[in-house]
Every structure is written in structure tokens, then in C-alpha cells.
Structure 1
Amino acid sequence: MTGTPAPGAPRERRWSVSLLLLSVVLVVTLGAFAFTFVRLNRVAGLSSVSITGWSYAEFVRQAAELRVLVAGAPATDAADLEVPLAVLQSKATVVSGEPLLDRIDQARRERLLGAVEQAQALTVADLRGPGAARQLSAIMDGAQEGYAGAVDLLGRERSGIARDLRLAEVTLAALAALLALTITTVILQVQARARRDLHLETERRTESERARAALERTAQDLRAAEGALQRERDFAVQVMEAMGEGLYVTGADGTFEYVNPALARMVGQPAGTLVGRAESDVLGEQPAQGGARVTAEVSLRRPDGASTPTLLTRVARGAGGVTAVLTDLSAPKEAEARLRELYEVTARGAPDTRHELLEVASRTFRAPGAFVRGGVIVARAGPLSEGRALELAAQPHDRTPDTLRVAVRTPGGTGTLVFCRAATGQPFTAADEDFLRLIGQWLEQDAAREETARQLRRSEELNKAVIRSSLDAIITCDERGVITEFNPAAEQIFGRSRAEALGESLDAMIIPERMRAAHGLSLQRLSEGGPGRILGQRLELPAVRRDGQEFPVELSVVRLPTDTPEYAGFVRDITERRAAEARLHHRTTQLDSVFNVSPDGFVTFGGQGQVVEVNPAFLALTGTRREELLGLSEAQFERVLQSRCEVARPASRPPPGVDVLQVVRPARRVLKRTRRPMDAGDGVVLGHVMYFRDITHEAEISNMKSEFMSTAAHELRTPMTSIYGFTELLLTRELDPETTRDLLETIYRQAGQLILLLTELLDLARIEARAGQDFRIAHEAVRPLIENTVRAFTPPHERSRVWVQVEPNLPLLPVDATKFNQALGNVLSNAFKYSPQGGEVLVHAWMDPLHPLLHVSVTDQGIGMTAEQRHRAFERFYRADSSGSIPGTGLGLSLVQEIMHCHGGRATLSSEPGQGSVVTLTFPVNSAPLESHAQENTDRG
């Protein structure tokens, strides 16, 4: 049997662990302080290392001062050099005795000791000699090497001290954290024991209070549920007692269990005497309960023998019996009878409808009444005096217990319906007022029908007046085409009188003879009930005047709403309009042609500021579609346009109403936009038009001009600056022969570069100005041309790198031999300049198998070009190498391209970075004879 440990055993073990942890912390603390003390002692050595570094720096500085003194005044007196030399030698002695010297790396220590030995060996005579500057430079270089070694060693010492300080800092921080952790652990153990004891006591007390509260809540919930149930029961009873419909509940044996007051009133018996009686004894036989719910109309018997029509709704109960509701239908039935009588009166359409409507109301209300309008009794029913009727019509109230008043609005003015009962009679109700309002609506409709008939008569008279005064010809005819109306405008247009036209056939009077057969067929189709193709259409047809002259008319035919078919034609003479339309069409055709074929873009905006038309040139310039632009507002159009543009920066400020756009899609273009209003001539602005002109070429020329002037000025100024500066130096100073020759050679090279630049500029200008007119074109053999150029433009020591490959049987090339040599020579020069690492250069000539073109290509293995460099390679003054290490003016390839253009050919370039370049010269070849001799296909240049 295992013994149970004493309650204090765990507590004693925890205290033992805490004491052990405190002992470990004490030992670690002592070790950390010892470690930190040892590490911090290394800081003391830093001062000696810093002093040693200063002595090396002084040695370097003294050597530099002595070198400057010797170089600045070669004829310095010997006494002036003795002191600086002695100082230098003393500082060299100090440096050689420094203890830090053994810790510098071996190479720098040897350089420093060599400088010290040279300094110790120097004399004043050596300093006045020609090699003094070189000796001092060697001493200073060795001193600098030693100083650099000392600085490196000092940096390493400082780094080590910094690491020691960081390590000591980390150690102390870890020690502090360990001490805090130990103290916190002891405190937490004490607090945990106290919290456990307190928690146990609190839990016991909380559990007892929670149980007591739960019992109290349960009792409260039960009391609240009982109260709610009682309130719901009382509310249900109140609702059933207040219902206007009769309500009763029967048990499974068919006797009343509950009857509400409304049902007791309906059967004329107290509710208390009904409970317990059979349903059939009180209400008679009821409809069979065929389902859960039954609705039917039944007649309810009363004790006095009268019966009341009711609507019965019975709902079966789950425990047997029914719950039923009885609704009194007396009022709806009576209202239905009133409405039926009212509709019968209005449906007859009697001449005196107003009087009959008042009679219906009088019988319904059992009271006399009248219809008063404008202070006059229009109709009256029953024994209501005129004075009393007018008095009631003037009262402000619509309904009182013994009077009823309703306003009626008719075309003849607002009237009033009034009815009056005896004071002892039944008072008027809201239902009576609604019924009287319905009668007022029928009176309004009757008055509206009379007004409509009156307006119809007036409209007929007006139509006749319109027909007589119409500026258009109005002709009516029957289904046979016989004219029944011919207004004055028709008399004037056709030259016939109305009396002459009436009764005549329409086709014989005004229709050209060639169209009469078609007109007859159209009338026949209409008479047979077929579709009328011209009805409701606006047609332009020829007509004939009395003298037989044909003229154009605009015709609209409609069918008149008559009992017998009759048609009306509206005819307008459009002779002048046709002439104006012809002129307008001719003018519009001209404008459309200009609009569509114009190379400039047009966009027109209507008066509402929306795009109404764009021409093809604008669509091509901006890459847009007509469908996506039409209907856009100006703001939306600007957003579409700006999505294809970038902000342009014109050289000059454009005038008002003009701006410059830089289009980047579908192609990069510069467009100048001008806005102008479209004026109708009378001050009315119909909209405005935007005019877009492509000024890309002008902008490019302007940019090229500016770029050319800037680059040319720079390229000319660079050699001129050297020439001017070196010439001024030669004129103002006496220099030794070697320096003078060096300066003169520099001037010669810069002058040659300047002459080459001017020559290439003059060649470009001459070629552009003359457009190749001074070229001397002759049929030349290709191989000799290439070989002569290679020999002329390839340095002798580089000719082994050049390979020439010419295909046999090439035709003679129509070319200016001098310009060919110049073009191919520039390409070869670039191949050598841009191949600093060497590599072979291949010159290849071959004939295009598909076209009459001869190609000469130069392939190198140089540095190559990027895509952007290839794109700009033929621009003037552009150089792929921006470092300046490769000589050149940037005009070579542009001059080559101009020469090729004058020959009708072109120069192309393909290149990849680091893989060399291929420049191809393409010449057109006519039916020239073949070369008369064949040579080896490939040989060296």
C-alpha cells in the first residue's frame, strides 16, 4: 500500500528549487562580471595604437611637403632643403621604431621599410638633382602603404573592442533578465498559493448564492407566465366582445359554448340565454361541414319573423364542434340594388338623364333633392322648394344629419347636388354621401358628352375653314376616285376651279397618264378591303396641271372616318424645294468629298455639345472607330483622345484656340488642333468643329534642326577649345621642347578632327542640296570596288582580320565609285572602331535571288547595339558609345544613308549587344552585263 505524501511536501520541494536557482544566478553573476572586466581592459591599448597611426600620418605628410617644395621651386637654395629633409629623416626613424610595425601585414611593412631606407639615404644634392621628384614620390608611396596598413590595423582593433563591448553589454543584459526572472518566479509562487486559497473559498460561496438565485428566477418566471396567459385570455375576450360580426363556438354536441354580443343582437336574444342551446334551434339547419372550412350565404331568422342575409364562415375545431362567424350582408345587398338601378338609368341614355338620376337618389335616400348650377335649379326630384334648394347649395358643410351636399364640376361650371330630410328622420351616413358622389360623376360624364357634341360641331366648321384656307391642296374622293372636295389651294396648284373638279375622276384630272393604271388598281384593292400601300405615307410623286405640265408634289393620303369609304389627299407643290434640294445635294456632295478625302482630321459637335460626325482622316490619325465616338459629349471625347496622347511640349506657345497633342497610339504623331464655332450666319451657333492637322514632319524637322545645331556646335567647340587653349599656352609660356611638341601634336590631331567633321558636314549638305545630281554613275565591277575600298580604309596591321567574299557572275553595278568607296569605307571604319577586342570582319557581296537588288554587307564581332541604339544609328551626331573612348563624329552612318538614297538604295543595320553588328548596303541593279572575269569566291583583304 503506497503512502500518501504530506501536504507540505510539494511546498518544501518548490522552496528547494528556488534556493538552487538563486545559487546558480549568483555564480553566473560573478562569472559575468569577471568576463566583462577582462574584455574592458582591451580598451586601454587603443590609445597607443592611435598614437602610432598618427606618427605614420606625419611621415606621409612630411614626405608630401618636401615633394611639393622640390617640384614647385627647382632652384631652391640648399639651406632651405636641409631642415625639411632632417625632419623627414627623423620621422622615418620614429616610424621604423614603432612597436606597431611588426603587426602590419608583410607586403605593406616591406614597402614602408623601403621608404624609410630611401629617406635615410637622401641628401640635399639628391633633392636638387633631376630624379628628386621620382625618389620623393617613391618614398611617399611607401609611407602611404605603411599608413594604410596602420589604419587597417587600427580599424581591426577598434572593431574587436566594439565586439567586446557589445558582448559585455549582452552579458549584463542577460544577467539582469535572469535576476528579474528569478525574483519574479519566487514572488509568483507566493501569490499563486494565496490566490488558490482565496479562490476555493470564493467558489464555495458563489455556488451557494448561484443556487439561491436560480430558485428565485424560476419562481418569477412561473408568475410572469401565469400573468401573460391571463392577459392574453382577457385580450381575446375583449376582441370577440368588440367584433362587429357575429361569433359563436359550439361543442361536439352542437350546442353553443360561447356567443358574442354581435350575434345576440343579430338573432334578437340575450347572449346568456343562447349558451347551452342547440345551434339548429337558434339558426336553423346549417350547411354540412364538408371540410375544415366552409363559407356560404345563409338567411338568418329573427324572432319577429324577419330574415337577414348573412355570410357564414364555419371552421371545424380539433376537439369537435365549430367556430363560426356571421357577417351581415344587408348593407352590401342594398348598395348593390342601388348601383344596379343607377346603371340601368345611365345605360338607357334618356334625353333627361339628370332628372332620372335625381329620382334614383331620392328613392334611395327617401328624401327630396335638386341639382343647382350658377344659382339656377337645373333638375329637381321630390317636394323640395326652390328657395330651400338654393339655401342648401350655399351652405359650407357637405353633410349634416338632415342634409347632404356634393359639388359637381361640369364644362358649364361647378354645380351642387343637395338633398334634405326631415329633422325626425334617419340621419345621412357616409355611404349615402359616397353614393351621391357617384351620381355626381355620372352627371359630370353626361355634361361632358354634351360638351363633346358641341365641340364636334364646332370642329366640323373649323375643318371646313381650314380646308378653305390651307396653303396645301386638299382633295377628297370616294372609293371610285370621284372628287368630292377641291379647296382653293388645289385650284391654284392645278389650275382648275372647284366647280370644274367636283364630280370628276381623280386620275383624269391630276394624275399623269402613265400612272393612271396603277392608281386604278390601288383604288380597286382598297374597295375590296385590301391593304392600302399609300395610306398614312408621305410620298413624292409627279402630278399634271391643266396645261399638261408635270411637276413634283408631296402627297399624303388618309382614310376619313366616314360610314362610306372616303379618302383625303394633302398635296404640296415641291418644285422649288426640289430645286433647292438639288443645289443643296450638289453642295453637300462637294463638302462630303472634301470632308472624306481630306488628309486632316475633322470632328464636328452639335449644339448640345455631342459628337455628330468624324471624318476618316481623324479615325486613321487616332486609331479610333466612328461608332465609339458618335454621341459622346466633349468631355467624354477629350478622355478618349487623352488616352491616346501624352502631353506635348511645343517650342512656342500656340495661339488661343490652338493646342498641340502628342499621339502615341496607333502611331506616334504630333497633331495641331484648332477649334472653330459653326455659325448659321444670323448669330446662332450650331455647334463647333475641331480641326486636326498632322504636323509630325514639321515637328521632326524642327527637332532635328535644333538637335543638329546643338550637336554641331558641341562637336565643333570641343576641338576648337583644345586648339585655342594649347595655342594660348604656347604663346604665353616658354615650355620645354618635349612639352611643346606634345601640345603641337594635340593641336594637329584636333585640327584634323575638325577638318574631318567639316568635310562630312559639307558632304551631307552637298548631297542633300544636289540630290545626287553631281554623282558620276558608271557600271563598275563589284569585286574591284570592294577590294580598293578595303585596301584604302583598312590599316596595314589590321588587314589580316578582313575577309572579302564576293559571289561569282555578279552584274556590273551602276554606281559612283568614289561615293561607294566613301560609304563602304565609313562602314569598315565603324567595324574596326567598335571591335576593341579584335575579331574578324567579313565583307560579303551577293545578288538577291528574287529581286534585282545587289547587297554588300559588313559583319563585325564587336560590342553590338541595343534596340534603341539600332533605331537611332542613322541619326546625325548620334554615337552608340557615349563614354568618349571611341573616336568619331557621329556623322558616318548618316552620310552612308544619304549616299545610298542618291543611288536609289538603302542601308540597314542588324545587331545584338555583345554579338557584333551587320550593316548591309542594298543597290538596285538594272539589266546590266555580267562581270567579264571570275575570281576566287573568298580571299583575305
Structure 2
Amino acid sequence: MTRRAPPLLRGWRPRLTLAALAVLTLLTLMTLALTFSRLNNVANLASVSITGWTYSEFTRQTAETRLLVSQGARPADLAVPLAILQSKAVIVTGEPLTGELPPTPRRALLRAAQAVQDLTPDALRTPAGQATLAAVMDGALEGYTGAVATLGLKRSRIASDLRAAEWALGILAVLLAVMSAVAVRQLLTGTLHALKTEVARSEEAEAARAQLERAAAELRAAETNLQRERDFALQVMGAMGEGLYVTGPDDRFEYVNPTLARTLGRSAAELVGQPVGAPLSGAPLSGAVGAERVTAELPLPLPDGRVMPTLLTRVPRGGGGSISVITDLTDIKQAEARLRNLYEVTTDPDDDLPGTLERLLRVGREAFRGAQGAYVRWNAHGPFVQASVGDVPDPAGLLRCGEQARQVGGACRSDDALAVPVMAGGDLHGALVFHRAPGAPPFGRPDEDFANLIGQWLEQAAERLRAHELLRVSEERNMAIIRSSLDAIITTDRWGVISEFNPAAESIFGFTREQARGQVMADLIVPPHLRAGHVAGLERLRGGGATRIAGKRLELTACRADGEEFPVELSVVPLPTTPVMYAGFVRDITERRAAEERLRERTTQLNSVFNVSPDGFVTFSQAGVIVDVNPAFLDLTGTTHADLLGLREQPFEALLARICDPLRAGGELLHLSRPARRVLKRTTRAMETDSGRTLGRVMYFRDITHEAEISSMKSEFMSTAAHELRTPMTSIYGFAELLLTRQLDPDTTRDLLDTIYRQAGRLILLLTELLDLARIEARAGKDFVIARQDLAPLIRSAAQAFAPPGESGRLTLNLPLLPPVPVDGGKVHQALGNVISNAFKYAPGGEVRIDAAPDPAGTGCVLVTVTDSGIGMTREQAARAFERFYRADHSGSIPGTGLGLSLVQEIMNCHGGSVSLASEPGQGTAVTLRFPLSVHPPPD
């Protein structure tokens, strides 16, 4: 039985309406569900915003820690901020938003968080720790920036979804109810506004928090600096040697330093708070102070009744009161009195040393409060007292103290004795000694300084007497020197009239002293053609003008009594006399001139040899310093004079080591790696005079690069040739011996004979190539028959002769019309054959191509290139391809001697051409022969 629908659902229109209503209701419910889902995301976004705040907190804590480190905080002060920073790093890494960050900020943030965990307070004070903290700051900022960007993206997406839901609900609300649409719209609008308000409040709160923390940090730093400065000021004032006190506006003590408290005989605690006038009664040190600085000398009464001379310095304070400093002037006043007494003695014009000595001893006795004084000197019998003041109860003690000063070479001081040495002319003249009675105050440093001052005045008096004595001795010595001098000494007045003519002058010029005195020097010993200039020079000298002879050593020409002119060395100096006199020192340099000329010629010859020698020379002085280097050494080593001159041997060896091959350093052979690869042989010789005195050393560097290469090539050639000859000879000898000693079957015998034949052929080929190579090198191409001919027939002939039988199809020729070239046809055929046979051997089954054409670069040459598609060579193998006996293939599967390309190179060199090779592994090889169009004679 079929159920019938309710009456309201009967008919298609009610059913359609009901279905449409149901669909509309379902769409409305789905839209509402989607809207509530996005609203839930808005609620979740609030927690994500808190997460963003944790990133900013991590960044802020990092910045605060860097600020503490930059201010020089101690490790103890850094422990708590670092622990907070490490905890915030752990929180940041555990936030869900961290996994949603872009890859670059996320990695930077995680590295920063990990680096924070490895830091310690001590490490933060090191440069490495500070660099790590800077890197953490960069990573935290990058992570914070990524978090802000991610949050913004989330907000944008939620806002977009909410706007779509708003439109959908609005359309549905029109169908359902206008009031429902208005309510939903108001709800969505309020939600968006609340979201924006929450974001704005979070940002404002973060900014306010950061500003508050910065202000708090600055306040703490200011308080710390203020306390540090206050403590430092108190330490300085407490350690002052002068008295210091501070008063307030009421003229009462606010601070008294320990020095002033001890001077007044009271403690600082007792004085603080009292009026200044009470403890300083009788001294005009109290009272109001003006706006200016006050400095005055004032007497200060002491508790024991004495009055101490002082210097008062008062400075006003900004808030009222003053700061005063009291300096004790007792020692200064006593020193002034001592100096005044000493000055009165030293300004006495009396030069009598004993009298001056006695007065100075009295000054010392008064300055040292009645101490006994004595002046001790030494003679052959020992020390003795030359002068003394006061009763000397212990002269032996004074002598002992003076002896101690003599041994020490300076002042000697004890509690009851003081001794000062007195020097004259750099030698010990005597010693001032003062002795105090037992119980008297001990001698101090100021006493020693004053005794030194007395000694200096006494030294001046002794120096004056010594100077008079030296002057007298000097005059006698000068006259003896003049008479015994080997140089001519001639004295004249300002007009040139001779007043003194010593025996050496008589011998040199041939005039007697009696003949010369009173004569004008220009007329006596100056050659006629030079007299006018000599007279003019004297005129300039008398007029105060410049002259070229006064005070200088000149080489001039003089004249003997017989008229002979000869070279002399002249030096003229003015004498300190009134009127002025001149002394001329003349030396006959005839022999010296001749010796200098010989030395000059010898030096020129040696310099020429030194400069043009192809070998390097480096000369060292006796002190081991480089003094000269020849051009050949500079060219060999690529150095300059500036690099070498003045160097000692150790830096020079270090310089050589830098340009030598480090694997072959040391020994007499130097293997240079730059400026070019060379081998130098070093020899060191000592430079000695005929008497055996050593003047220095010379290093001789000979370039033996060619000899070393020849020796290396010879050794390599002998080794390789012996190996290449031994291999076929061993096979021939062994198989021949086998045939002679055993009876073999015909097939085996045939195989052995074939092997002997092949090895004999290889041996003959090797010897032929060696002989050809040796013949070409020995004759240098002089036996070549050079004739201008076409290369194309030579190329075709060589290709036909050296292509393997049955493999000519692998060969491609590209031979356009070529200009004739001057060549030896037989040698070119041999060179082309070697290259072509190599191409076929090393490219089994591959194509071989021969191209010939004029050089496109316009060098006037014809290029013949043989290209194969074979196994090719590496760059290192290609670089050694033209070496004798070198083979890139060491397997032995490809026959050859390793001499083919060497022979090709020699043939092309004798033609004035060249051969080059280009190859890549697995891509084949191209060998290019370059034939010049003009005739080039073979090198000698």
C-alpha cells in the first residue's frame, strides 16, 4: 500500500516550494556554520597574537642583554638576563606558529634560539660571545618579522572569508528575513571591529612596554654611574695628601678628609657638623665665600702650639657653601731658605776653591740642622779629608761613607750619614759627606736632593779651575802638535800675511820658516793663475760674505819654491783670537791622487765585470748586511735593489725560500719557481784583504738550468732507451735460446720465429728513429734538401703509405689548391707518416681526416692538420706528448716507441715551422703542422 503525501505537499508547486525552502534553509545553516567557523578562527587569532608577543619579548630581551654587555656588566649581573633570554628562547621554539613561519625566518629563529642556549655570562664578555649575541639579535629580529608577516596573512585570510560569508548571509537574509540579515551583518561588523581594536591595543601595549623598559634601564644605568662617581670622589678625597673640607650654606663642616683631621688632632666624625671657626680658631679660614675662587697663604695653628704655613684654596659650591684645600708649605719654605743661602755663596765672584768649599759646607751644616760636614778626596795613599766644618767625632766614619759613594758612583744615604760624589771633567774629584749626631732626625730624600745641588755648585768651581789648567796644557800641546804635524800648518792674519810656518810646511813647499813669515801667502804658494781668485776670496771673507774655503776641506793646486805645481788638500778655519787669525792645514796629496786614479780604474773594471756578468752576485758587509747586487741576480730572481739592499742574511734566505720550489728547498742548488723555473748553483766566498782581514762575503749564483735539464734528459733518455731496447732484445734472446735448446713442433717454431721477427723489426725501428733524431739534432737540418714544392702530392703519398691495408676508407682528405712551400720532401713524408700512423693506431675503426689550407690568421704559413676520433689524451698527457719515449698508453696494446712526435718536432723546427697538438679524452686528437711559405735557414 502506497503512503500518500500530506495535503500541503500535494502538487508540484508546494513540493517545489518546500524543496526550495529546505535547500535555502540548508544553505543558510551551512553558511552560518562556515561563519561560526571563521569566528572561531578570530578567537584563535587572539592566542596567536599572544604568540606574536612572545617573539617580540624574545627580541626585546636579546636587545636588553646586548645593552648590558656593551655597558661592561659583570658576569654576575648578566646571569639573570641571560637565564630569562634562554627561557624565552625555549618558549619561542615551542610556539605552534613557529612551524608556520616561512623557511628562512624559521631557520634564523631556531638558530638564534639554539645559539642562546650555548652562551654563558663569562662568554658574553668575550668578542666571540658578543658576535654570537649580535647574530642572535639578527635571528630574533628576522623571526619576529616573519611572525608579524604570518599573523598579518592570517588576519587577511580571515577577513576575506568573513567578507564572503557576510555577502552570502546578506543574500540569504533577504530571502529569510531582513532583520536576520541586519543582525548577522551587525554581528560580523562588530567582530571585525573587535578584531582590529584588539590588534591596535596589542601593538600599543607592546610599544608602551618597550618604552617603559628602556626608560627603566636608562634610569638604572644613571643611578649606577652616579653611585660610582660618588664612590670615586670619596676615595680620591680620602687619599689626598692635602687637607680638604666641605662646608654647607651655614658654614659648618659637611665633610673632612683624613689628612686634615690628623693635622687638627681630631677625628672626621667629631668635626662634621661643627662650625668651621671652632676647630680652626685663630685662622682666617672660615666665613662666607664669594662667587670667585680664593687662594692665599695663611698660618694654621696646630694643637701643639706650632703654627704651620699653609696655602688655602677655596672654591664655592653651587648650592651654597664651599670646598677648601689646605696645603702644607713647611717643606717649601725650608727649601726656599736653603736655596737662598746657597745662592748667596755661589754668586760670590771669588774663584778660590778652598774658600768656596768651606762656605758650601757651612750652608750644608745649617740646612741639615748642625750636621758635621767634610769634603773627602783620594790620593795614592787612600782617602783624606780636605776640608770640614764643625766637630768631626768620627773622621773614619766620614771616610767610609765617602768611599761608599765613590764605589756606588752616586749619592749614598743612611739615617745618620749622607755622601754625594763630585765630578770634574767626567772624573771623580771628591765626595761631600755630612753626618748627624745620634738621636737627630734621619736624612731624607729632600736632604739628598739639596746635597746634590751643593755638589753641582762645587763641581762648577772645580771645573773652572780644571779648565784653566787644561787651557795651559792645551796651549803647550798645540805648539808641540804644530811643530810635529806631518801636515803643513800655516797661520795668517785677515790680509793673508803668514805668521806661522811649521816644519812640515817647510818640507812640502821648500821655503824655510824665516823665508815664509811676513810674506803674503798668495804670492808665496798659490800658483799665478789662481792668485786673483784667492785674493777675491779673502776680500769676501773680510767683508763677512760667503766663501767656499772657510771651514771646508778642498782639493786645490799649490806651488813649490821651484815653481812646480802639485795637488794639495786644504782646510782653512778661523781662530778664536782678536784680531781674527786663520789657520790653514795643507796636505800633499800627489801620491794619493795617483793611488785614487789606479783605484778608480780598478773599480771601473770590476764594476764592468760585476754588471755585465751573466751570473748573479750578492755582496754582504762584515756585519752581514747586503750592500750590493748585480743586475744578473735581479733578472734571475725577479727582485729589485729596494727589495734586497740593507737585508740581513736570514731575511734574504727567507726571500729566496719564497721564490723557490718548497719541495726542493735547501742545499747549494736553488730550484726557483718564479719569475721563471730555473736552477741556480750558489757558492759563498769570504772577501779578505791582503793582510787577511775579512771585509764581508760574496754569494755567487750560477744559472745551471740548461745543464740540469740536459742532465735530467740524459738520465731519462738512458733509462727509457735501455728499457725500450731491453724489451725486444729479451724476447729475441729468450725465444732464440728456446729454439736452440729444445725441439719444438713446426707451429710453435713458426710462432717463435714470427715473434723474433716482429721484435727485431721493432728494435730496428727504434734504432732507426733514434739515429734519425740524433742525426737531425747533430746536423741541425744542414743536410736537408730544401726545394719549393706542392704539399698535396706529399700528403697523398704519406696517406697511402701509412694507412693500414684495407682501411683507406677511414681516411678523408681535404686538399684544396695550395701554394708551394720550401721543404725537404723525404723528411716531410717521414713526419706526415708518423702523425698519420699515430692517428690510425689510436683511433681503431674511427675516421681519420687530413686538412690542408693557408693559415687564416695571415701568418704566411700553410697548415696541415691530421684529426682522428680516437681515445684522445688528457691535458697533462698532451703537454708531454713531444717528450722522447713518452707514451700516453701504458697498457702495451698499442705498438710504438714514443719517439715519433719528437722526430716530427725536430723535422718541423729544421724547416722553420712548428707542430702543435690539441686533444680531449674520448674525443680524439688533432695534430697541426705549420709550414712557412718563405725559406728559413735551419738554426745553428
TM-score above 0.5: yes
Preserved contact between residue 778 and residue 816 of structure 1 (Cα < 8 Å): yes
Residues 854 and 860 of structure 2 are in contact (CA less than 8 Å); yes or no, is this contact kept in structure 1?
no
Secondary structure in 1 matching 2:347? helix
Flag the 1:250–1:282 CA change in 2: closer, same or farther, 3 A. Answer: farther
Secondary structure, aligned partner of 1:643: helix
SS of the aligned residue for 2:568 comes to strand
How has the CA–CA distance of structure 1 residues 801 and 514 changed in structure 2, closer, same or farther, with 3 Å as cutoff?
A: farther
Structure 1 distance, partners of 2:710, 2:246, is 107
State the 1:362 CA deviation. Answer: 8.3
Tell me, yes or no, if the aligned pair for 1:646 and 1:663 is still in contact at 8 Å.
Answer: yes
Taking the aligned partners of 1:891 and 1:622, their CA distance within structure 2 comes to 35
Give 1:445's aligned amino acid: Q
Counterpart of 2:670 (choices 661, 681, 685) is: 661
1:894 correspondence with 2:902: yes
Aligned 8 A contact 1:900 1:921 in 2 = yes
Query: 415, 424, 430: which is aligned to 1:414?
Result: 430
Q: In the comparison of the two structures, how many residue pairs are matched? A: 665
Q: What is the CA–CA distance in structure 2 between the aligned matches of 1:264 and 1:714, rounded to whole Å? A: 111
Instruction: Check conservation: 1:848, 1:854, Cα contact below 8 A.
Output: no
Confirm whether residue 574 of structure 1 aligns to residue 582 of structure 2.
no
Aligned ranges 1:597-746 → 2 under 5 Å: 597-646=612-661, 659-733=668-742, 735-746=744-755
Aligned counterparts of 1:532 and 1:447: Cα–Cα separation in 2:
41
Letter in 2 for 1:290: G
State the shift of 1:537 in Å: 3.6
Decide whether aligned partners of structure 1 residues 248 and 621 sit closer, same or farther in structure 2, where only a CA change above 3 A counts.
closer
Output aligned runs, 1:15-34, within 5 Å. Answer: none
What corresponds to 1:447 in structure 2? 462
Per the alignment, residue 294 of structure 1 pairs with 294
Unaligned runs of 5+ in 2: 1-234, 378-382, 403-415
- Measured at CA, do residues 253 and 740 of structure 1 come closer, stay the same or move farther in structure 2, by a change above 3 Å? closer
Q: CA deviation at 1:246?
A: 12
Partner residue of 2:797 out of 763, 773, 788? 788
Question: In 2, distance between residues paired with 1:285 and 1:795?
Answer: 128
Q: Is the 8 A contact 1:372 1:389 kept in 2?
A: no
2:763 paired residue number: 754
C-alpha spacing 1:804/1:481, structure 2 compared with 1 (3 Å):
farther
2:3 corresponding residue in structure 1 = none
SS in 1 for 2:685: strand
Q: Which residue is 2:142 aligned to?
A: none
Stretch moving more, 854-863 or 756-765: 854-863
Instruction: Quote the residue 1:808 is aligned against.
Output: 817
**Secondary structure of the equivalent of 1:865?**
coil
CA 1:854–1:565: 2 relative to 1, 3 Å: farther
> Are 1:879 and 2:879 an aligned pair?
no
Deviation at 1:784, TM superposition (A): 2.6
d(CA) in 2 for partners of 1:255, 1:585 = 91
CA contact (8 A) 1:473 1:488 kept: yes
For 1:866, the aligned partner's letter is: T
Q: Which residue of 1 aligns with 2:228?
A: none
Aligned residue for 1:339? Answer: 339
Residue in 1 that maps onto 2:568: 553
CA RMSD of aligned residues (A): 5.1
Is the CA contact 2:554–2:571 (under 8 Å) kept in the aligned structure 1? yes
Answer yes or no: is the 8 Å Cα contact 2:848–2:866 preserved in 1: no
Q: Is the 8 A contact 2:556 2:568 kept in 1?
A: yes
Deviation of the 1:460 alpha carbon: 2.0
The partner residue of 1:903 within 895, 911, 914 is 911
Alpha-carbon distance change, 365 to 633 in structure 1, aligned in 2, over 3 angstroms: closer
Q: Which secondary structure state, in structure 1, belongs to the residue aligned with residue 898 of structure 2? A: coil
Question: Given that residues 675 and 689 in structure 1 are in contact (C-alpha distance below 8 angstroms), is that contact kept between their aligned partners in structure 2?
Answer: yes
In structure 2, do the counterparts of structure 1 residues 347 and 623 end up closer, same or farther at CA, with 3 Å as the change threshold?
same
1:486 to partner: Cα distance: 3.0
Q: Using the alignment, how far apart are the partners of 1:741 and 1:420 within structure 2?
A: 131
Q: Equivalent residue for 1:829?
A: 837
**Aligned-pair identity (%):** 56
Structure 1 equivalent of residue 185 of structure 2: none
Q: What is the Cα deviation at residue 296 of structure 1?
A: 1.0
| Cross-structure match for 1:842 | 850
Distance in 2 between residues matched to 1:899 and 1:634, nearest whole Å? 49
3-state SS in 1 of match to 2:719: helix
Residues 448-504 of structure 1 show CA distances to partners (whole Å, capped at 9, x for unaligned) of: 211121112211221222222222223334444444433322232233333333444
Measure, in 1, the Cα distance between the counterparts of 2:737 and 2:309. 137
Residue in 1 that maps onto 2:512 = 497
Q: Residues of 1 paired with 2:253 and 2:683: CA distance? A: 100
TM-superposed deviation, 1:844: 0.6
Gaps of 5+ in 1: 1-235, 266-270, 651-656, 929-941
Once the two structures are TM-superposed, the CA of residue 366 in structure 1 deviates from its matched residue by 10
Letter of the 1:289 counterpart: V
Amino acid at match of 2:654: R
Partner Cα distance (1:351, 1:680) in 2: 57
- Give the distance between the partners of 1:495 and 1:409, measured in 2 at CA: 53
Q: How does 1:455-604 map to 2 (within 5 A)?
A: 455-531=470-546, 533-604=548-619
Greater alpha carbon shift after TM alignment, 772-781 vs 747-756: 772-781
For residue 907 of structure 1, give the secondary structure of its aligned residue in structure 2. strand
The residue type paired with residue 451 of structure 1 is R
Deviation at 1:825, TM superposition (A): 1.5
Q: Would the aligned equivalents of 1:648 and 1:660 in 2 still touch at CA under 8 Å?
A: no
Tell me the equivalent position of 1:210: none
Change (3 A) 1:251 1:369: same
What is the one-letter code of the residue matched to 1:862?
G
Q: Give the distance between the partners of 2:475 and 2:892, measured in 1 at CA.
A: 102
Deviation of 1:745 after TM superposition, in Å, equals: 3.0
Corresponding residue number in structure 2 for 1:157: none
Q: What amino acid is the match of 2:709?
A: E
Stretch deviating more after TM superposition (571-580 or 907-916): 907-916
Letter in 1 for 2:659: R
Q: Matched residue of 1:797: which SS?
A: coil
Q: Is the 8 A contact 2:619 2:698 kept in 1?
A: yes
Q: Distance in 1 between matches of 2:734 and 2:401?
A: 119
How has the CA–CA distance of structure 1 residues 678 and 728 changed in structure 2, closer, same or farther, with 3 Å as cutoff? same
Larger radius of gyration: 1
In structure 1, distance between residues paired with 2:580 and 2:319? 77
Q: 1:450 to 1:817 in 2, by over 3 A?
A: same
State yes or no: 1:858 paired with 2:870: no
TM norm structure 2? 0.60
Aligned residue identity for 1:797? G
Question: How far apart are the structure 2 equivalents of 1:261 and 1:838?
Answer: 114
Superimposed CA distance per residue, residues 797-826 of structure 1 (whole angstroms, 9 cap, x where no aligned partner): 333443444453613x33332222112221
Cα pair distance change 1:410/1:921, threshold 3 Å: closer
**CA distance in 1: counterparts of 2:906 and 2:244, whole angstroms:** 115
Q: 1:475 to 1:727 in 2, by over 3 A?
A: same
Of residues 591-600 and 616-625 in structure 1, the stretch that sits farther from structure 2 once superposed is 616-625
**Partner letter of residue 553 of structure 1?**
V
Query: If the length of structure 1 is used for normalisation, what is the TM-score?
Result: 0.60
User: In 2, Cα distance between the equivalents of 1:261 and 1:593?
Assistant: 87
Quickly say closer, same or farther: Cα 1:591–1:338, change in 2 above 3 A.
closer
